[in-house]
A and B are shown apart, each in its own frame.
Chain A
Amino acid sequence: MEGPGVLGAPAARWKRHIVRQLRQRDRTQKALFLELVPAYNRLLEKAELLARFSEELQPEPDDVTLSVHQGPWEKESHQGLSPAALRVKWQEEVEGLRLVCGEMAYQVVEKSATLGTLESQLEERQSRLAALKARVEQLEEVRAKKAGQVHARRALNEEQRAAYEALRARVGHQEAALRRLEEEARDLLERLVQHKARAAAERNLRNERRERAKQARVSQELKKAAKRTVSISESPDTLGDGIREEAETLVVAAKPGSLESEAGEKWKRPFRSASATSLTMSRCVDVVKGLLDFKKRRGHSIGGAPEQRYQSIPVYVTTRLPTQAHDVLDAHLSEVSAVRFGPNSSLLATGGADRLILLWNVVGGHLKANQTLEGAGGSITSVDFDPSGSQLLAATYNKAAQLWKVGEAQSKETLSGHTDKVTAAKFKLTRHQAVTGSRDRTVKEWDLCRAYCSRTINVLSYCNDVVCGDHIIISGHNDQKIRFWDSSIRVFSNESALHMRWPKYWSFSFSISPSSEHPGLNSFGWTGWISLESKGLSRVFSNTTVPTQSPLFSQKEPKSPASGLNGL
């Protein structure tokens, strides 16, 4: 056996040489015999077999030279040993082999047939598989589409949810804002109420203080007056003077009031005139005309000083029945019972149960607040401007009438002396004179310069309203009578009462304005629009002078209880 040999890829020259040499050696010496040796071994074995066989057979003349070392060896060596037997044997073997071959061939055929069937099955399976795959792909597509739809829906849901949340948040904010506003409103209301209460308390306080001050002053005056001696004479002049002397700048209060009314009563007796008190129409008219006639002067006039008159400015404007209110305003804290325009039509005064008189300017068809006159002792029943427009007279429940200067918020003078609510207070056309009517069944005339009651007219029933002309005073009463009084005479008589079928409204007012047609004659008439109850009236006075418009226009609606009728 040769030693371990060849290396791979030798680097050195001697290595390469050795490798080359070894390869060459193998080529020449080894390769030729590589197959020879095992073949020879096999041959050797077979030779042994043959040797055994040859013992039975006769030896062939051909020499069998067992030359191991020679190259070609042949199978002819086998021939020498019993060829016949061998041939037979081999023929049997050949037959057997042929049989085997046939069987094999048959098996081969069978196997190929099964192979064919199996192949066809395989093909069928494969086609089915392909079909199923296609179906699977289809379903996958559908699934993907559905998934996409689901996704889109979810996105939509999210959007809507987000929008909903946003709206909810907004709603929350708005609600919070609403609550805040409501709280603020409540606060404001409370504050307003408190403020108003405080204002009212303040006003009450002020009024009280004023009252107390007045009371104090009056009592002082009374005390002073009580100390003085009084001389009473029978002459009316001196009486008047006497009375005038007693009362100073202030209007007398209750006790002096009684004194005065006594005096008034004394007067009445001697001075009752015998004026006609006819109830017939024509005679009434005549009476009225006579009363109103400037030229007739009966008796002395009160007051020696020449009377100053206001020049009356007749302004006639076309009027119509009011069909709608131009402006509606919540002005007073409670009901409004008196409304009056000032003489120049620019100022409007309203008075009501809240004891305030509010002055308004009429601007462009709307009312604008001008001033508030306070200090009234009770609800205001009527308001009147004096002809110059600078003073304002109001009649109050407090048994007094109060006087304001327009521009001053506090009342300067109070005309007290009535024993019950004063229902009307009007300026006379003569300066500084006013007339008040009251529920104590008296009508009083006042001299405002001296601030005392110059005359008291006793009437038989509640006086509801009073109107003054130049010399005439007309008073409306609860007993459905209108009474006319001539202020130029001293004595008033009931005869000049005019009975009207006048439904009882607890207050009504009327006013007189001078007409230009008959200078010197005050005329009045009733317009047809006094729907209330004036049917009888219109007929009655159809022959009176046709009335024309009046600047004095009541803004109260005719239907309200405090309705008035305007003598136009």
Chain B
Amino acid sequence: MHYPIGLLFDLLASSSALPWNITVHFKSFPEKDLLHCPSKDVIEAHFMSCVKEADALKHKSQVINEMQKKDHKQLWMGLQNDRFDQFWAINRKLMEYPAEENGFRYIPFRIYQTTTERPFIQKLFRPVSTDGQLHTLGDLLKEVCPSAVAPEDGEKKNQVMIHGIEPMLETPLQWLSEHLSYPDNFLHISIIPQPTD
């Protein structure tokens, strides 16, 4: 579960008060569940693979393959050194789409739920419908994870959280993918039970 930390917090500890207390284990690494991280390069490779996968969904990998090696490096260095400008200079290209289409080919997203055994839901989903309408978050959820969406009449059982906020279900998916993606260009969506407070 090499997930971004924010995602993990949203998923697992959104109700806990900040600062988040985590227990760091220095012994008994769970070999079966997790991969070792021998060096920084592994993390970089993992990050880059996520980026490529996202771009494959968005642009059929055209944009990411056009970039040079130094651009990929720049992406990682910007992320590593907390340099947004450096990062965004390259990442912006990954957020563009040709003018004749109204959005990406497919939206790279993963929906995480704690209640299921499945790690996440990732499916092909177009941002624009056949009649030109932009799909919303609600459409995605209905399509992909209908159980997450509360029925109209019933009370809301789950919270749909991205980046610690709960956007409205009518938010266009294309927009969410462009603006609320994680550095690896994925929309990591957490479905958590509604807090009872």
Contacts and interface: CB of A to CB of B under 8 A. Distances in A.
**A pairs with B:** yes
Given A1-B82, A32-B18, A14 B171 contact: yes
B167 A18 contact: yes
Interface stretch (B98-106, B113-121, B174-182): B174-182
A21 B166 contact: yes
A1 B21 contact: no
Contacts of B21: 69
A8 interface: no
B84 interface: yes
B146 interface: no
A21 B163 CA distance: 10
A17 B168 contact: yes
Interface in B2-49: 6, 18-19, 21
B181 A3 contact: yes
A330 interface: no
A170 B179 CA distance: 99
A18 B165 contact: yes
Contact of B18 (A14, A18, A21, A29): A29
Nearest to A19: B165
Nearest to A29: B18
A245 B95 CA distance: 173
B179 A4 contact: yes
Given A2-B6, A18-B171, A25 B179 contact: no
B171 A3 contact: no
A22 interface: yes
A3 B21 CA distance: 22
Given A25-B164, A32-B18, A3 B180 contact: yes
Among B84, B163, B170: residue with most chain A CB under 10 A: B163
A370 to B, nearest CB: 132
Contacts of B19: 33, 69
Contacts of B171: 14-15, 17-18
B167 A3 contact: no
A24 to B, nearest CB: 8
Contacts of B183: 1, 3
Label chain A's interface by main secondary structure: helix
A471 B164 CA distance: 185
Interface residues of A, number: 20
A509 to B, nearest CB: 149
Interface in B139-166: 163-166
A45 to B, nearest CB: 18
A69 B18 CA distance: 9
A13 interface: yes
A52 B161 CA distance: 45
A85 interface: no
**Most chain B beta-carbon contacts within 10 A, residue among A4, A15, A21:** A4
B79 A1 contact: yes
Contacts of B79: 1
B195 to A, nearest CB: 13
Interface string A12-42: 0111011001101100110011000000000
A7 interface: yes
B135 to A, nearest CB: 13
A22 B167 CA distance: 9
Contacts of A69: 19, 21
A65 B196 CA distance: 35
A4 B166 contact: no
Interface string A303-320: 000000000000000000
A18 B180 CA distance: 10
A17 B136 CA distance: 14
A34 B188 CA distance: 24
A1 B18 CA distance: 16
A28 B17 CA distance: 10
B88 A17 contact: no
Interface string A322-363: 000000000000000000000000000000000000000000
A108 B6 CA distance: 53
B84 A4 contact: yes
Interface string B75-115: 00001001010001000000000000000000000000000
A162 to B, nearest CB: 80
B164 A13 contact: no
A33 B164 contact: no
Nearest to B181: A3
B165 A21 contact: yes
A21 B167 contact: yes
B181 A14 contact: no
Nearest to B178: A4
Interface string A170-197: 0000000000000000000000000000
A17 B18 contact: no
Contact of B165 (A1, A4, A7, A22): A22
Given A69-B19, A69-B21, A7 B164 contact: no
Contact of B179 (A1, A7, A21, A24): A7
A41 to B, nearest CB: 13
Contacts of A18: 165, 167-168, 171, 180
A549 B138 CA distance: 170
Contacts of B163: 2-3, 5, 22, 25
Contacts of A14: 167-168, 170-172
B95 to A, nearest CB: 9
Nearest to A16: B168
Contacts of B170: 13-14
B192 to A, nearest CB: 15
Interface string A80-116: 0000000000000000000000000000000000000
Contacts of A33: 18-19
B165 A25 contact: yes
Nearest to B169: A14
A242 B150 CA distance: 197
A21 B18 CA distance: 17
Nearest to A23: B165
Contacts of B182: 3
Contacts of A29: 18, 164
A219 B2 CA distance: 183
Nearest to A37: B19
Nearest to B171: A14
Q: Which of A18, A28, A33 is most buried by chain B, counting CB atoms within 10 A of its CB? A: A18
8 contacts: A14-B168, A14-B170, A18-B168, A21-B165, A25-B164, A25-B165, A33-B18, A33-B19
Interface of A: 1-5, 7, 13-15, 17-18, 21-22, 24-25, 28-29, 32-33, 69
Please name the 4 residue pairs, one residue from A and one from B, whose CB atoms are nearest each other, closest first: A21-B165, A14-B171, A14-B168, A17-B168
Given A1-B79, A13-B170, 9 more contacts: A1-B82, A1-B183, A5-B179, A14-B171, A14-B172, A17-B171, A18-B171, A22-B165, A25-B163
